[in-house]
Amino acid sequence: EGLADLGQSRAYVNIHAARWLGSRHVTSPVLPLAEALELRDHVLAARAQGWKAFREACVALLQHPAFPPARRRSPGEAEEVVDSAHRRASEQR
């Protein structure tokens, strides 16, 4: 019991980035806990680096193979989702 039980735990990442995406959140599929924590660190580091790095991390996340096929985006679809959210957020400022 305790920390040993975390090995089988699963989680998802949900990051808010109002500055670039307005009210949209970046959400991962459910992943093994260690992978979710690594992904969280990666997306937060990208967010700290600026829009270009954060955009790349979001586009990659929307293509994650753990998403069911119906939710997984192609590269072009992922770029459109992220860029569209960014445009809407920019218009509301």
Q: How much is the pTM?
A: 0.87
Q: Is residue 64 within 8 Å of 72, Cβ to Cβ? A: yes
Report the SS3 class of residue 74: coil
| Cβ neighbours for 61, distance < 8 A, ≥ 6 positions apart | 26, 28, 39, 43
pLDDT by position in tens, the chain (length 93): 455 566 689 999 999 989 899 988 999 999 999 999 999 999 999 999 999 999 999 999 999 999 999 999 999 999 999 999 999 999 887
Instruction: Judge contact between 54 and 82, C-beta under 8 A.
Output: no
